[in-house]
Amino acid sequence: METKIFTEESIDEAAEILKNGGLIAFPTETVYGLGANGLMTEAVQQVFTVKGRPADNPLILHVNQFSMVENFVDKFHPLTEKIVAKFWPGPLTLIFAVKHGSLPLNVTGGLSTAAFRMPANEKTLLLIEKTGVPLVGPSANTSGKPSPTTAAHVFHDMKGKIAGILDDGPTAIGVESTVLDLSDPSKPPMILRPGAVTKEALENILETEILIDQHLVTEGETPKAPGMKYKHYAPNAEVRMVRQAEWPEAARWSENQKVGVIASPEILKLFPQEIEKYSLADNSIEAATRGLFAGLRALDETGVSLILAPAFEEAGLAVAYMNRLKKASNQKFWKN
């Protein structure tokens, strides 16, 4: 199969492919998604097959307007309107209880709930509008590997497996959306997966406590949202987190080691010239979040056996960043 690169000028062709059950990867502000017609069981099944994704891992439906969600949900949480007005379009996924039989079982993972998001990307919103149905859109990569933040990343993993990629350059945020559970209108909202919309941001707008789900999903349990159960975001190389104060020692240790480093230019200067490096824009959490997946991918291509990446104190956006980095590194620091 030829995998075609689509632009806004050829978006009608991409929409027709989706209507007919084909797969088109699309850009969002977080990562690139692997799009399929969310109402077509066979098309959704192709997503699982192409990614190698576990069958009990539910998918997020991407919509271009809230009325699309209303087709599947009978009863909304009382805070829904306020949340949607402030955070949609944007990097926030909302989980609702859905009407029985209204969605394919492979979209919901067999649960009575489903996840919805309105991405902040004009090209993708137009693609959804022209397709006329919600699009499932898990990250457009091989399951378990670092998520794609450019069309080139998608092409690397999906060339010959999908019909096309709608290209809109690098993504702005770099990690997947926050997932907020609103499925029980009688309970407070609960974050199931951290993202760029933080607990603090939600609490400031809603003026109520936002819970965070801390339980570990067991082997026989179906996760309510993506990223809760399986190993994620890991390249072939081992990954280790490095605390800020440990960079000079890590740099000295790295001499004659087959190691790659993701860090700011200031930190990279500490390392030997021959070490493989991926430079972040600066030392901020925003730059680290935007560059984490791209850095893991780029350094993995060099054949290094170990990748070092910066750890941050877990507050604000760093909660989402550390969530991904901990999974990529299997919770391991360079020096415990």
> Domain 238-328 adopts which CATH fold?
Rossmann fold (3.40.50)
Give the distance from CA 282 to its chain's centroid: 22
Res. 230: pLDDT tops 60: no
Res. 98: pLDDT tops 90: yes
What confidence score (pLDDT) does residue 54 get? 82
What confidence score (pLDDT) does residue 46 get? 97
Give the distance from CA 328 to its chain's centroid: 13
When pLDDT is averaged across residues 299-321 and rounded to a whole number, the result is 97
Least Cα distance to 68 among 18, 132, 136, 137 occurs for 132
51-60, 215-224, 256-265: which range is least confident on average?
Answer: 215-224
CA distance 182 to 306: 40
Res. 221: pLDDT tops 80: no
The vertex-227 CA angle with 226 and 232, nearest 5°, equals: 135
Least Cα distance to 194 among 210, 209, 207 occurs for 210
When pLDDT is averaged across residues 150-165 and rounded to a whole number, the result is 97
CA distance 277 to 196: 26
CA distance 112 to 101: 9
Per-residue pLDDT of 9-62, as tens digits, reads: 999 999 999 999 999 999 999 999 999 999 999 999 999 999 998 877 899 999
Res. 233: pLDDT tops 90: no
What confidence score (pLDDT) does residue 97 get? 97
> Domain 4-212 adopts which CATH fold?
DHBP synthase (3.90.870)
**What is the domain partition of the chain in residue ranges?**
4-212, 238-328
What confidence score (pLDDT) does residue 336 get? 58
Per-residue pLDDT of 261-304, as tens digits, reads: 999 999 999 999 999 999 999 999 999 999 999 999 999 999 99
Burial class, 23, CB count within 10 angstroms (exposed 0-12 / middle 13-18 / buried 19+): buried
H or E element that contains 96: strand 92-97
With cut-offs at 50, 70 and 90, classify the pLDDT of residue 72.
Answer: very high
